[in-house]
Amino acid sequence: MKLVHRTMTGALGVVAVLVVLIIVQVDRKLGVRLTEETTQRLTTEARLVAGEWTIGVDADALANRLGIESSHRVTLVDSTGRVIGDSEFDHPELDRLQNHATRPEIVAARDSGVGAARRHSASAGNDELYVAVRTPLGFARVSLPTTSLNAIVSAARRDVAIAGLVALLVAVVLSWFFARSISQPVEELSGVARALAAGDFSQRPARAAPGEVGDLAVAVSGLAEQLSTRVDALRAEEALVRELAESLNEGVLALDARQQVVRMNETARALLGIRSVLPFGAEQLPRDRGFRDAMAAALAGETVRDVEVSLGGRILNVTARPLDQAGAVLALLDLTRLRRLETVRRDFVANVSHELKTPLTVVRGFAETLADDDPPVEARRQFAKSIAAHTRRMQRLVDDLLDLSRIESGGWVPAPQSVEMAKVIADDISAARATADRTGIALDVALDEAALIVFVDPTALRQIVGNLVENALRHTMHGSVTLRTARTGDGVTVSVSDTGCGIAAEHLPRIFERFYRVDPARSREEGGTGLGLSIVKHLVDAHGGRLHAESTLGVGTTVSAWFPDRIVLDA
């Protein structure tokens, strides 16, 4: 069967079923709804009748009057079931009417106050809908023939049937046009698919549309058998190459013979700072001389290895290879971190050697003097004091180096808790206060009422406060050193201010570096190791906090450490 015939048959079948369902639903639902609404209306009228039926009122006359007014049959029945008033029967005929005590609507009204029933009336000779209401004098009943209700339902059924027939006719016309609009392009596509399956790739359909399932499936399957293997292999290879390139820590980019960048992984984009969509011209690549020379050599067929270039603050190792079919591939390895670590290592060794050289020289000199000569007692005592002082300096330097190494290597993890600043100050400020009293410097403490509790590792806080206060006292000749706390946002700031000599602006950004001293001679003379502020910075960073320094030459310096109320430690 052709697609046009199947489409028309299906559309007509759907419309026909819908029409039948609508007729059935209208027939059933409309009848029920009409019965319910009519019953409610008759109940209202029955209650009105019951309200006018009082003692002393002629029941038959009342039924006749209300029946005329409502155009419905009104019946009044006493409590024994005897009819004492009916709008359709005169008084002599009432005695011949049967007792209504067993009528369904009367029985229901006696039990619940209101009763309704739809049945055949022997006295009226037709089907009627009855509604009875219980009254103090008996029962008031209102009824009407069901022929009017049946007429409404029949008319509705007829109207729906006519509308359904019209819908069927419209569906025939529309489904024919719809089926033709589908079948024609499908037949055309079937022919094109057969041509493609035969190897004629010049054929192109004039328009696209859904296909004839049978013929189109056969035609396309021939094409799929020829192309699927090649396409799948190419896609698999493409995906493999792409994933391999993206998984590399090295940047990789490829250029074709026209010097167009046709492939580049995300690492290369990040190293070169390029976001252009592939392909793009090589002129968008960095213009560094070494990079350009390596690329030009590879495009000329020469392999270039291990060329170091500096691009955007990074040190890159560039390797360039030519491609067999013209073009080149460049590999970029970021050496920035490695070179920085080498520099740090060299500086560290030089700084440690320099820091140890002076005290070792002093200790050796005094020790040799004590061993070879016999100086006076006072001189020996002075030599011993100098040896002890320089030994303490070396011991302190070693301790600070061990602390810094443990923090940087992750061997120490803070265990923050709520710490009372007053206790920390009481425990750790006594030694610093002795030094301040000896040098005549006022050591003040100002704790904010809103910042008495700090969420921090207690040991780390003591080391931070001790280093900051000791550093401030070391660089203050006169005046005061003040330790403060303050509530700042969702954390607490602990700051130490002094009235010392201050720090020049060019030195301020580097004071937290290891072994960096603004005044090396003074710092060594005072016993500083050059590692205190570096340790403080690492401890504050480990808590997720921030360290900040402000200074004015000749006025003083303030170093502030901010700690959040809650921190999340790395697992």
CATH number of the domain that 92 lies in? Answer: 3.30.450.20
Mind listing the pLDDT tens digit for each residue in 58-78? 888 888 888 888 888 888 888
Mind listing the pLDDT tens digit for each residue in 345-361? 666 666 666 566 667 77
| Same domain, yes or no: 347 and 325 | no
**Strands of 126-135's sheet, edge to edge?**
83-86, 73-78, 138-145, 126-135, 114-121
The answer as to whether 215 is a domain residue is no
| Same domain, yes or no: 137 and 47 | yes
CATH number of the domain that 372 lies in? Answer: 1.10.287.130
List, in sequence order, every beta strand (DSSP E) within 430-517.
442-447, 453-456, 480-488, 491-498
User: What pLDDT score was predicted for residue 133?
Assistant: 92
The answer as to whether 232 is a domain residue is no
**In the numeric block, which tokens belong to residue 445?**
């403490």
| Same domain, yes or no: 386 and 322 | no
Task: Tell me the longest C-alpha to C-alpha distance in the chain.
Answer: 163
Of 287, 306, 334, the position where a domain reaches its end is 334
Mind listing the pLDDT tens digit for each residue in 430-442? 777 877 888 888 8
| Same domain, yes or no: 371 and 472 | no
| Same domain, yes or no: 440 and 393 | no
The continuous run of DSSP H or E covering 421 comes out as helix 421-439
Please state the domain count of the chain.
4
Average pLDDT over residues 484-503: 88
Rounded Cα distance, 406 and 78, in Å: 108
Of 152, 181, 207, the position where a domain reaches its end is 152
The answer as to whether 181 is a domain residue is no
Higher pLDDT: 46 or 247? It is 46
For the ranges 36-40, 293-297, 507-511, the maximum mean pLDDT occurs at: 293-297
Residues near 474 by Cβ (< 8 Å), separated by ≥ 6? 523, 526, 527, 528
Q: Is the pLDDT confidence value at 569 over 60?
A: no
The answer as to whether 353 is a domain residue is yes
Residues near 457 by Cβ (< 8 Å), separated by ≥ 6? 414, 415, 416, 417, 539, 543
At 238, the amino acid letter reads E
Q: How confident is the model at residue 333 (pLDDT cuts 50, 70, 90)?
A: confident
Residue 158 main-chain phi, psi, to 5 deg: -65, -40
The answer as to whether 206 is a domain residue is no
| Same domain, yes or no: 346 and 283 | no
Give the closest residue to 294 by CA, choosing from 276, 312, 280, 282: 282
Mean pLDDT of the chain: 76
List, in sequence order, every beta strand (DSSP E) within 403-490.
417-420, 442-447, 453-456, 480-488
Rounded Cα distance, 437 and 480, in Å: 11
Mind listing the pLDDT tens digit for each residue in 162-212? 877 777 777 777 777 666 666 666 666 566 666 656 655 555 555 445 444
- Domain of 290, in residue numbers: 251-334
The secondary structure of residue 285, as a DSSP letter, is S
| Same domain, yes or no: 377 and 445 | no
Of 291, 317, 334, the position where a domain reaches its end is 334
Rounded Cα distance, 238 and 240, in Å: 5
Residues near 355 by Cβ (< 8 Å), separated by ≥ 6? 397, 515, 529, 530
| Same domain, yes or no: 97 and 41 | yes
| Same domain, yes or no: 280 and 257 | yes
Mind listing the pLDDT tens digit for each residue in 516-548? 655 554 444 444 556 777 778 888 888 888 888
| Same domain, yes or no: 378 and 467 | no
The answer as to whether 176 is a domain residue is no
| Same domain, yes or no: 11 and 37 | yes
The continuous run of DSSP H or E covering 118 comes out as strand 114-121
**In the numeric block, which tokens belong to residue 10?**
């299906």
Rounded Cα distance, 291 and 250, in Å: 15
| Same domain, yes or no: 385 and 448 | no
Residues near 245 by Cβ (< 8 Å), separated by ≥ 6? 252, 263, 265
